[in-house]
């Protein structure tokens, strides 16, 4: 069975279980597809392992077809109880969410003190809240209060063209805004990647905290999921120069497959978006063959960033299958090899920074260059090359290696005890990048939660 076929078939079982148990309110009619009792029982306990359980053979096929030798003995970390030091790291991360909550909406700012958020950052906050509850940082009363407040706001959000969440909202009043946090009554578009990210914690909530299922149902029943997908490919929207709605293919290798996994749980045919092979090429980086997206940025007007974050999140949340695990390890190994050969400690991802242009992409590869650091517009940002705190914690949680230990030690002092973790450390002068954000602190919490409990989408 091919990878995409297996995932589509497994999708039907997930929908069935969600319809019966989770009460998402999704009714799907599948003709001539028989649900066997044994497999159905397995899916009740292993929903998050859909891709893994259905794609082992096809995963090997991908590696063989691309003539990529599988890395031997990948040093995955087994779950264990956090040390007292790691517990304090988690509490430091939670302080961000203590400081940046708006009681009026239940929303959290995406950047410290800046009252705006995206659906990606909203998802990050939810994952941080789940991590804080599981690690005992917040009690049940605070958890349920925070969660209900946010879910109720999400259920009443104004939607872009009445279909899906806008790309940005003001956290004070939950109104649609542009990326400068200025009111945008008609919105600026939606992101399929962001919606896919938000579905991850919503799935966790339904299974782990079933008393909140009705609130999740109220959110999802308003969303037009069919608008997200065309021909099994993810699409977002934006306003063109004349203010009209333009539909744009969304996602590149890593992010595209990550977002598609949670959309598959909703019964959408995202088989082409899930296919790693469709646009995958290879670039040699310090002797490591690293996967990258072959779509030319100049032709398709989207950068093909190779960064740590989507591979880390895939491992923390879904648990890697044979293909995604191999690709992730190669992205990690290229960064380790750069340190070995140059002495530059490396953990790269996209991050906010504490001065203009305020957001950059530190990459293993993008736009034809290795170790390229650029702005969203593709402008050179080499002087902002950084060690990313969230990437360091993510790799530390997933791999038990000397290099991952070295990474987390390097960033372990990069925090303000009253505000949370800084985004990283600049390579140029070793000074901290003092941007403090939702996404960084959420990934620290999510990584530490993974270290104690394992992958987060798991039915127990």
Q: Tens-digit pLDDT profile for the chain (460 aa)?
A: 444 444 444 443 344 334 433 434 332 222 222 222 332 333 333 333 333 333 333 444 555 455 567 888 899 999 999 999 999 999 999 999 999 999 999 999 999 999 999 999 999 999 999 999 999 999 999 999 999 999 999 999 999 999 999 999 999 999 999 999 999 999 999 999 999 999 999 999 999 999 999 999 999 999 999 999 999 999 999 999 888 999 999 999 999 999 999 999 888 999 999 999 999 999 999 999 999 999 999 888 899 999 999 999 999 999 999 999 999 999 999 999 999 999 999 999 999 999 999 999 999 999 999 999 999 999 999 999 999 999 999 999 999 999 999 999 999 999 999 999 999 999 999 999 999 999 999 999 999 999 999 998 764 4
CA angle 28–29–35, rounded 5-degree value: 95
Q: Which residues contact 220 (CB under 8 A, 6 or more apart)?
A: 24, 25, 26, 202, 266
Overall residue count recorded for the chain in this entry: 460
Residue where the block lists tokens 């962001």: 194
Structural domains of the chain ordered from first start: 3-453 (1.50.10.140)
Residue 405 CA to residue 360 CA, distance in Å, equals 25
Closest to 216 (Cα-Cα) out of 126, 152, 166: 152
Closest to 188 (Cα-Cα) out of 250, 151, 222, 236: 236
């Amino acid at each position: 069975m091919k990878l995409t076929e297996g995932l589509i078939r497994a999708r039907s079982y997930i929908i069935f279980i969600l319809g019966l148990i989770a009460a998402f309110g999704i009714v799907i009619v599948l003709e001539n597809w028989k649900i066997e009792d044994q497999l159905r029982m397995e899916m009740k306990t292993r929903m998050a392992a859909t891709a893994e359980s259905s794609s082992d053979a096809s995963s090997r096929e991908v590696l063989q077809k691309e003539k990529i030798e599988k890395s031997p003995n990948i040093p995955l970390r087994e779950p264990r109880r956090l040390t007292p030091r790691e517990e304090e790291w988690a509490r430091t991360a939670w302080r961000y969410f203590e400081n940046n909550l708006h009681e009026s909406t239940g929303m959290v700012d995406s950047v410290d003190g800046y009252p705006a958020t995206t659906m990606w950052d909203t998802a990050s906050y939810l994952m941080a809240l789940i991590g804080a509850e599981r690690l005992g940082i917040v009690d049940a009363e605070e958890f349920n209060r925070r969660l209900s407040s946010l879910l109720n706001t999400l259920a009443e959000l104004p939607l872009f063209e009445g279909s899906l969440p806008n790309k940005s909202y003001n956290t004070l009043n939950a109104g649609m805004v542009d990326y400068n946090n200025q009111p945008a009554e008609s919105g600026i578009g939606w992101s399929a990647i962001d919606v896919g990210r938000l579905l991850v914690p919503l799935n966790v909530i339904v299974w782990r905290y079933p008393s909140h299922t009705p609130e999740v149902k109220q959110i999802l029943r308003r969303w037009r999921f069919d608008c997200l997908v065309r021909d099994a490919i993810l699409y977002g929207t934006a306003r063109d120069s004349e203010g009209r709605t333009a539909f744009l293919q969304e996602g590149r290798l890593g992010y595209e497959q990550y977002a598609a996994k949670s959309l598959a749980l909703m019964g959408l045919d995202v088989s082409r978006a899930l296919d790693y092979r469709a646009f995958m090429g290879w670039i040699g980086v310090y002797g490591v063959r690293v996967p990258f997206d072959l779509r030319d940025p100049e032709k398709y007007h989207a950068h093909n960033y190779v960064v740590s974050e989507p591979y880390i999140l895939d491992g923390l949340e879904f648990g890697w299958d044979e293909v995604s695990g191999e690709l992730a390890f190669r992205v990690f190994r290229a960064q380790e090899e750069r340190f070995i050969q140059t002495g530059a400690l490396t953990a790269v991802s996209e991050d906010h920074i504490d001065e203009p242009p305020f957001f950059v992409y530190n990459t293993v590869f993008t736009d034809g260059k290795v170790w390229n650091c650029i702005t969203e517009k593709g402008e050179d940002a080499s002087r902002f090359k950084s060690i990313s705190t969230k990437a360091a914690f993510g790799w530390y949680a997933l791999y038990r290696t000397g290099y991952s230990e070295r990474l987390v030690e390097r960033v372990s002092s990069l925090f303000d005890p009253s505000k949370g973790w800084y985004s990283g450390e600049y390579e140029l002068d070793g000074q901290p990048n003092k941007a403090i954000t939702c996404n960084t602190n959420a990934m620290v919490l999510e990584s530490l939660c993974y270290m104690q409990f394992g992958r987060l989408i798991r039915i127990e």
